[in-house]
Amino acid sequence: MKVFNLNLFRKCIIVLFLICFPVGTIYLINRAEAQEAEKDYTKSRSGKKDDIKSNYYGYCSPCHGDTGKGDGPLAETLEQGVEPRDHTSAEYFSQKTDEDIFNVIKFGGAKAGFSEAMPPFDGQLSDDEMHGLVKYIRILCKCKFKK
């Protein structure tokens, strides 16, 4: 019968520690960073006035642009003939009810008879957040619905 080699056992423990400790540390650091990023993300979705602007910049400005003129960085990548709506157009938005605008945000452009390039945000944003975006679009166009 072979005798248990204590020195070999100690060496194995040290090697395992040297491998597991750095890997575990990296995992915990990455997990903490991910949780912090999640806090920032949910903070911007709380429905407060500043957060409505954050939601606009996060969800709308890639196509519609920071100022809402339809000149975002992704505007040129849309299919030919498709241009993002200019949210500063009082002429257009004064003809649309808040519910019309809300429905395009919630259900997407295709459901409202527009381009499929406008995605639906139902499931990504709450109804309150989408109503906040409607209010923000009203600020950009400086208009209200006119009958």
Q: pLDDT per residue over 101-145, tens digit each?
A: 999 999 999 998 898 999 999 999 999 999 999 999 999 999 988
Domain co-membership, 73 together with 123? yes
- Report the range of poorest mean pLDDT among 13-22, 38-47, 126-135: 38-47
Domain count, the chain: 2
Contacts 24+ apart (CB under 8 A), 86-90: 87/60, 87/137, 87/140, 87/141, 88/140, 88/141, 88/142, 89/141, 90/141, 90/142, 90/143
Asked whether the predicted pLDDT for residue 38 surpasses 50, the reply is: no
More confident residue, 147 or 37: 147
How confident is the model at residue 9, as a pLDDT? Answer: 75
In whole angstroms, what is the distance from residue 42 CA to residue 22 CA? Answer: 30
Domain co-membership, 13 together with 49? no
- Region 39-50: mean pLDDT is 48
Quote the tokens at residue 8. 């070999």
**E strands in the chain:** none
Asked whether the predicted pLDDT for residue 56 surpasses 70, the reply is: yes
Domain co-membership, 31 together with 51? no
Domain co-membership, 77 together with 18? no
Domain co-membership, 113 together with 49? yes
Domain co-membership, 3 together with 55? no
How confident is the model at residue 80, as a pLDDT? Answer: 87
Domain co-membership, 59 together with 124? yes
Asked whether the predicted pLDDT for residue 65 surpasses 90, the reply is: yes
Sign of torsion over alpha carbons 136, 139, 142, 145: positive
Domain co-membership, 69 together with 1? no
Domain co-membership, 49 together with 36? no
Domain co-membership, 53 together with 110? yes
Using pLDDT thresholds of 50, 70 and 90, give the confidence band for residue 72.
very high
Q: Which domain holds residue 7?
A: 1-43
Domain co-membership, 143 together with 83? yes
Domain co-membership, 119 together with 50? yes
Q: At 139, which CATH number?
A: 1.10.760.10
